[in-house]
Structure 1
Amino acid sequence: MDSYPRLRPVEAFPIQQEGRTLICLRDPQQLANTVVVSPAAYFVLSHFDGKHSPVDIQESYSRQFGDILFSEDLNRIIEMLDHHYYLYSGRFLDHQKKVFDDFQRLVTRPPAHAGTVYKEDPAGLLGQIESHFEAPRGPGSPQWGQAAPTPRAIVAPHIDFHRGGPSYAWAYKGLAESPGADLYILLGTSHCGGENPFTATLKDFSTPLGAVETDKEFVRELAKSYPGDLFAEEHLHRTEHSLEFQVVYLKYIAALQAERTGKARPFKIVPILVSSFHSMVQSRTPPEKNPQIGSFLNALRRLAQKETRQVCFVAGVDLAHVGMQFGDPEPLTPEFLRWVEEEDQRLVDKLASLDAPGFFAEIAKDQDRRRICGFSPLYSLIHVLDGSRGKCLKYDQAFTAETGSAVTFTSMVFD
């Protein structure tokens, strides 16, 4: 084992258990099981950056707590984290390769969040999503009088259904009241990063409401125009929720249509994950100046415009991530959250008018102070829509007291 332990990127947040505050560790890639540790152990593992030796960590512990961290206790923490695949090690890399290879062989992507974020049984899931529409903050159930036109694009959250359910309903209600589309091009945040700006998959998506077919011909045509490898990091799709939640909602819309007309409109999807454009923010360089990004967006716009089928873009995004969980040193205040809302609204206004330079300037002016995780998919959406105008239907903030954090999101439609 490496004498300079290095922790993998994980999510850490406090929980209450039998009157005690503990720290929960969660792996967004689902390569490791959830682990709960004490605050003291969390202090120790916060030094697992590959730069601190065991002696360095022991000295730091002694300064912090005025006590001795014995080598056997430190080793137990290291061995426990390595056992659960939280540390970079040969053992972890072998495990990761097996999981990714297994996923690569699948024809259909299994649902990664069924039974946790949303219900696994079809009837329960239909009822769960229906409750999003009928919730006090929801838009009400879809109405089917005179059919509304199919939107050219919608912007929906990707936060969990428990916190963002009604906002999903606001985003999808207009689509539910329309004839729908034949092809949905999905743009979602890649939460696990990625060396490539865009990553697609040819896999179909399984949901509790049935499978959704990926338009493999469209994806392959897109890959031909991309100077990089569009499938090099296909494993990023394995557990990513930003697209999975949209696919579930699209199947719900199809179920409504079948109930209304006796037959659901067949549709396919083009699932695209978009990695961070943060380096472009740091250099204040418009992302389309990057040859890989610019050529991909041009190819996607060109292929969508050539389609004779009805096309609808869907962006699965959240906006700001603020508070101590995300690295802010001070607790959130009502005044700060009002400032976040004002800044978010300025960003949404630029998005609605498809103002790419203005949208980028809003992010770059403070080096993405609010951590807009939907920046790259939304910036991409602006570049593939022409002549549309967006409308903000709903804006919300989800505050979590346990972590002292808030996530914001919006629901929009482009006609």
Structure 2
Amino acid sequence: MIRKPIVAGQFYESDEKKLIQQIEESFSHQKGPGSIPSGQREGSIKGVISPHAGYPFSGPCAAHGFKAIAESEMADLYIILGPSHIGFHKSCFSEDDWETPLGLARTDSDFGLILEENHINLIPMPHKEEHSIEVQVPMLQYACRDKEDKMMFVPVMVAETDYKETAERLQKAISEYVEKGKSIVLIASSDFTHLGANYGFMPFSENVKDNMYKLDKGAIDKILKLNPEGFMEYCEETGATICGKYAIYVMIEVMRSLKASPKLLQYYTSADILGDYSNAVGYASILFS
């Protein structure tokens, strides 16, 4: 089966040439890394946390992480973790290949078997209605365009009900895969704080920009310290509306098991693009190497 795009033409361009231009403008943007990937690959990375808003807003932030992906050794498999904005109650993956304006992104059925053996559910349906993972796929295709025939990925939706179990199960699945001499890069898809009446979250009315930056930087600090429980406690205590917090929890647990070294590449908010803090969303790009 092929999973069709649901936000092409909304979150990103639906035309191939326009989409490539949009992605390259994200790289060259003043809030992006400043240039498109060099075309040279060296070294390896373990993962990135990447935002999933519309490319005109979060694309430059996401480009930081995908530049790191494009300039490091090609992984045998890219695992994209994302939340369910429709509230699906089970963590699950899909074996469907994903269509985007840049072509077909193939999933790895062999790793799918390993996931099933480790009790992560194969349920394609909720993936068909969720944008958080889809928004990462064209960026990943662009980053792997020099070896597009070798690019394989698996989408994993992380649910609130079983995220801790999913972290344990995914770690086991990755260990089995790596023991076979394979390499993996994880991408956790999440925006950070959603602020304003549109999101039902208005914790402060003064110094909004500074306070929003401070709120998100507190969460980012827990991530940089590879502290998954501290991250979740911080979200609970502050009410920080981080939509992919369960995917981030799984990411931190896996990165901690891999002894990864995290680094914040970029952070800004949608209001820094639009100039309006009445409603704003935070975006962060975090590299694990």
TM-score for the superposition, normalised by structure 2: 0.89
For 2:279, the aligned partner's letter is S
Q: In the alignment, is residue 302 of structure 1 matched against residue 175 of structure 2?
A: yes
Q: Deviations over 1:324-373 (max 9, x none)?
A: 1111367x64523322211211211221231223222212323xx12111
* Structure 1 residues 223 and 357: alpha-carbon distance in aligned structure 2, compared to 1, 3 A threshold: same
Counterpart of 1:397 in structure 2 is 269
Aligned partners of 2:286 and 2:167: how far apart in 1? 25
Shift of 1:403: 9.3
RMSD, aligned α-carbons: 2.4
For 2:133, the aligned partner's letter is L
Q: What secondary structure is seen at the aligned counterpart in 2 of 1:251?
A: helix
Task: Note the residue ranges of structure 1 that are not aligned, 5 or more in a row.
Answer: 1-106, 258-262, 281-286
Q: Deviations over 1:207-252 (max 9, x none)?
A: 11110111112112211221x7x134x3211131111111111111
Counterpart of 2:236 in structure 1 is 364
* Structure 1 residues 193 and 306: alpha-carbon distance in aligned structure 2, compared to 1, 3 A threshold: farther
For 1:347, the aligned partner's letter is A
Q: Deviations over 1:155-210 (max 9, x none)?
A: 110111121111111121111222321200110111111121x1111100111111
**Matched-pair contact (CA < 8 Å) for 2:65–2:286:** yes
- Following TM superposition, where does structure 1 have runs of at least 4 consecutive aligned residues deviating by more than 2 angstroms? 142-148, 292-307, 399-404
What is the identity percentage for the equivalent residue pairs of Structure 1 and Structure 2? Answer: 29
**Matched-pair contact (CA < 8 Å) for 1:359–1:379:** yes
**Matched-pair contact (CA < 8 Å) for 1:155–1:410:** yes
1:267 to 140, 151, 160: 151
Shift of 1:380: 0.3
Counterpart of 1:25 in structure 2 is none
Counterpart of 2:106 in structure 1 is 213
Q: In the alignment, is residue 276 of structure 1 matched against residue 181 of structure 2?
A: no
Counterpart of 2:24 in structure 1 is 130
For 1:372, the aligned partner's letter is I
Aligned partners of 1:177 and 1:406: how far apart in 2? 31
Counterpart of 2:4 in structure 1 is 110
**Matched-pair contact (CA < 8 Å) for 1:212–1:268:** yes
1:162 to 45, 56, 75: 56
2:191 to 304, 312, 318: 318
Counterpart of 2:224 in structure 1 is 352
For 2:132, the aligned partner's letter is S
**Matched-pair contact (CA < 8 Å) for 2:28–2:36:** no
Counting only pairs closer than 5 Å after superposition, residues 227-306 of structure 1 correspond to structure 2 as 230-232=121-123, 234-255=124-145, 257=146, 264=148, 266-276=150-160, 288=164, 292-293=165-166, 295-306=168-179
For 1:221, the aligned partner's letter is I
Shift of 1:264: 4.1
Aligned partners of 1:407 and 1:304: how far apart in 2? 36
**Matched-pair contact (CA < 8 Å) for 2:188–2:247:** yes
Shift of 1:298: 4.0
For 1:388, the aligned partner's letter is A
Q: What secondary structure is seen at the aligned counterpart in 2 of 1:341?
A: helix
- How many aligned residue pairs are there? 285
Q: In the alignment, is residue 200 of structure 1 matched against residue 200 of structure 2?
A: no
* Structure 1 residues 303 and 333: alpha-carbon distance in aligned structure 2, compared to 1, 3 A threshold: farther
Q: What secondary structure is seen at the aligned counterpart in 1 of 2:207?
A: helix
**Matched-pair contact (CA < 8 Å) for 1:153–1:413:** yes
Q: In the alignment, is residue 171 of structure 1 matched against residue 65 of structure 2?
A: yes
* Structure 1 residues 316 and 185: alpha-carbon distance in aligned structure 2, compared to 1, 3 A threshold: same
**Matched-pair contact (CA < 8 Å) for 2:24–2:36:** no
Flag the structure with more relative contact order, 1 or 2, with Cα contacts below 8 A and sequence separation at least 6.
2
Task: Note the residue ranges of structure 2 that are not aligned, 5 or more in a row.
Answer: none
Aligned partners of 1:320 and 1:108: how far apart in 2? 33
* Structure 1 residues 344 and 211: alpha-carbon distance in aligned structure 2, compared to 1, 3 A threshold: same
Counterpart of 2:211 in structure 1 is 339
Aligned partners of 1:130 and 1:157: how far apart in 2? 17
* Structure 1 residues 276 and 182: alpha-carbon distance in aligned structure 2, compared to 1, 3 A threshold: same
**Matched-pair contact (CA < 8 Å) for 1:132–1:165:** yes
TM-score for the superposition, normalised by structure 1: 0.64
For 2:12, the aligned partner's letter is Y
For 1:220, the aligned partner's letter is L
1:375 to 237, 245, 264: 245
Counterpart of 2:43 in structure 1 is 149
Aligned partners of 1:136 and 1:294: how far apart in 2? 35
Aligned partners of 2:141 and 2:225: how far apart in 1? 29
